[in-house]
Amino acid sequence: MTKGFTMKQMLEICDITEDAVRYYEKIGLLPPVERKPNGHRLYSLADKETLLSIKCFKKIGMTLDEIKLFLKLQNAEDTTMSPEVSLQLQNYQMKIKDQQQQLQQIWDLIETKLQSGHKVGIRTN
């Protein structure tokens, strides 16, 4: 039998729910998964990488339909990226850059408050 990951292992590794994994299989984000003789799912390294990619794409705000398109492109034999897809990825990069800047501002505020010993919040007089 081929080595792989059980559902439990996959949930722990990818920090994802069983319902989400089953749903991704149902809508075709994950290809049909190999099964053990007892019917239990057996996930491959490629399945794990796909789930981790889905998680990353979701974190930047991609819809499941957009994720499906990107996964299809990843698995396509023709690796040429269309200008539309390239533009969309650039837009996601800009969105992430904005999020980084916002998080840095929050980090700086907290760091300043920790160093000054003053309460976090807005003063009201």
> pTM, whole model, 2 decimals?
0.70
DSSP 16: -
| 55 dihedral zone (left: phi>0; alpha: psi -120 to 50; beta) | alpha
Contact between 67 and 57 (Cβ < 8 Å): yes
Task: Please say if the pLDDT value at position 10 is more than 90.
Answer: yes
pLDDT of residue 123: 59
Decide if 120 contacts 110 (C-beta within 8 A).
yes
Give, for 125, the enclosing helix (H) or strand (E): none
Task: Give the pLDDT confidence score for residue 51 in this predicted structure.
Answer: 94
| Structure confidence at residue 1 (pLDDT) | 41
Q: Model confidence over 23-78: pLDDT tens digits?
A: 999 999 998 899 989 989 999 999 999 999 999 989 888 899 989 988 887 776 66
Using an 8 Å Cβ cutoff, are 73 and 85 in contact?
Answer: yes
Which residue, chain included where needed, has tokens 């190999």?
34
User: Quick check: 93 pLDDT over 80?
Assistant: yes
List all residues 6 or more positions away from 62 whose beta carbon is below 8 Å from its beta carbon.
70, 92
